[in-house]
Amino acid sequence: MFQAVLFDLDGVITETSEYHYQAWKMLASGLGIKLNRAVNEQLKGVSREDSLKIILRYGGRENDFSESEFQALAAKKNNYYVESIQNVSPKDLFPGIAALLEELQTHQIKIALASASKNGSFLIERLGIKDYFDAIADPSQVEHGKPAPDIFLAAASKIGVSPDKCIGVEDAAAGIAAIKAAGMLPVGVGSPNVLGEDIAIVTTTAALTFNYLKKVWSE
Ligand code: BG6
Ligand code: MG
């Protein structure tokens, strides 16, 4: 049996991936870059700095900013984003997530957050689910962002569970790659076109139940 479930946050627990997109779009449009959802798909799960690099490259502006200007742009995006999440509340939890956390806790399965977001701790507090989490991996302490396995390995290490006893839940291609690289079992939220045909995928988090995870684990 699996002993832990490691959750991504944005796009898995709540719809904040849309807020990230809107914040990037606003920043990009100020730079004369028109973002679209196809480009945004590459940003999902990716750190703030790496996302900005992808956007500047996409807009052909990767050589236009000094290091301090780059950092200022990243901070500006974060300000837009932080403003948009101030009113997040428990009713913004995706369907089934509260019930799943409760079930996992009842069955003594450890729960950890493996989000690339430095706003993760604030959000799970706002969502009213912080107490379920045995650990929150700190993205500022890992060397490589997703698709590297670091954040998932850090989460597993914090709860003292071996990676081969962990399930990772993700909505981003970079995140699924990170879970696989960590030697964990991936469960995707979204579509096989984006996440791959070779893994278990739910189209809605309402389908993410303890029984479903047990079934996926035993297959
Ligand atoms: C990930 C999101 O969870 O966190 C990305 O999918 C985001 O879109 C990344 O860029 C970093 O988030 P933050 O809040 O630290 O800028
Ligand atoms: Mg995500």
Instruction: Note whether 189 and 170 are within 8 A (CB).
Output: yes
CA 78 – ligand 1 centroid, Å: 9
Q: Is the distance from the beta carbon of residue 14 to the nearest atom of ligand 1 less than 6 Å? A: no
Domain with CATH 1.10.150.240 in the chain: 17-84
* Residue 164 token pair: 């081969």
What is the pLDDT, as a whole number, of residue 62?
Answer: 96
What is the pLDDT, as a whole number, of residue 148?
Answer: 97
Residue 145's pLDDT band (cuts 50, 70, 90): very high
pTM over 0.85: yes
What is the pLDDT, as a whole number, of residue 200?
Answer: 98
Q: Mind telling me the catalytic residues? A: 8, 10
CA 106 – ligand 2 centroid, Å: 25
- H helix or E strand, kind and range, residue 122: helix 120-126
**Which numeric CATH code is attached to 4-14+90-218?**
3.40.50.1000
What is the pLDDT, as a whole number, of residue 192?
Answer: 97
CA 218 – ligand 1 centroid, Å: 32
Q: Whose CA is nearest to atom 13 of ligand 1?
A: 117
Q: Is the distance from the beta carbon of residue 20 to the nearest atom of ligand 1 less than 6 Å? A: yes
**Which numeric CATH code is attached to 17-84?**
1.10.150.240
> Which region among 39-48, 162-171, 180-189 has the lowest average model confidence (pLDDT)?
39-48
Q: Is the distance from the beta carbon of residue 77 to the nearest atom of ligand 1 less than 6 Å? A: no
* Residue type, position 36, single letter: N
Domain with CATH 3.40.50.1000 in the chain: 4-14+90-218
Determine the distance from the C-alpha atom of residue 126 to the mean position of all C-alpha atoms in its chain, rounded to a whole number. 16
> Of ligand 1's atoms, which has the minimum distance to the CA of residue 77?
16
CB atoms within 10 A of CB 149: 22
